[in-house]
Chain A
Amino acid sequence: DTEVTQTPKHLVMGMTNKKSLKCEQHMGHRAMYWYKQKAKKPPELMFVYSYEKLSINESVPSRFSPECPNSSLLNLHLHALQPEDSALYLCASSPRGRNYGYTFGSGTRLTVV
């Protein structure tokens, strides 16, 4: 298995809702990442997990809460989002260490109404 699987593919949520994005990989990668991508913009790093521990939080608002239950799964819990949080949320994984490329999932297209 050489894929990163993200669910759901599309999500519409209200500003008072709580929802979660899920990401799964079975490549034995020990680093996992969340990126946010707005239309016609590059992906922006949000969080980095290394060996299931949060190692990087790029000053992301607390309404985004990541979780790494085990080495294969990565979640992003969403609560009280704003319309400007609408974006494509990408998950990626890589072998731990420098000089390895990331494998990206296809993303979750999130719309906040």
Chain B
Amino acid sequence: GESVGLHLPTLSVQEGDNSIINCAYSNSASDYFIWYKQESGKGPQFIIDIRSNMDKRQGQRVTVLLNKTVKHLSLQIAATQPGDSAVYFCAENTGNQFYFGTGTSLTVIP
């Protein structure tokens, strides 16, 4: 499944399926982006980052895609697991500070 992360949307996926979470960022001058995962009662946790000179970066089970033309980021999670259930935020680095997007709540159905 996939979603657009503009108004804290929710995304529900079956365990084992792939998830796609989208984010639109605001500043065309931003040159560094991070996806964070936030579980209930915890602070945001770094998942993966990408610099603006790249359009794709892969980690363990996660891939981030960057489209600078339309100012769009996506996070792909392969073989989604129940432990992936959380709120996911993209963050853009502007002027040496990170500003967060709206977030997407991911629920994995066992």
By a beta-carbon cutoff of 8 Å, the part of chain A in contact with chain B is: 4, 33, 40-45, 48, 56, 90, 92, 97-99, 101-107
Contact = CB atoms under 8 A, between A and B. Distances in A.
Contacts, number: 52
Interface of B is mostly: strand
B45 A42 contact: no
B100 A43 contact: yes
Interface stretch (B56-64, B66-74, B89-97): B89-97
Interface of B: 8, 31-32, 34, 36, 41-46, 49, 51, 89, 93, 96-103
A98 B44 contact: no
Contacts of A101: 34, 46, 49
B44 A104 contact: yes
Contacts of B32: 98-99
Contacts of A4: 43
Given A98-B96, A99-B32, A101-B49, A43 B44 contact: yes
Contacts of B8: 40-41
A33 B98 CA distance: 10
A99 B44 contact: no
B46 A103 contact: yes
Given A41-B8, A56-B97, A98-B93, A106 B43 contact: yes
Nearest to B36: A104
A42 B99 CA distance: 9
A59 B100 CA distance: 17
Given A98-B93, A99-B51, A101-B49, A90 B44 contact: yes
A87 to B, nearest CB: 13
Nearest to A33: B97
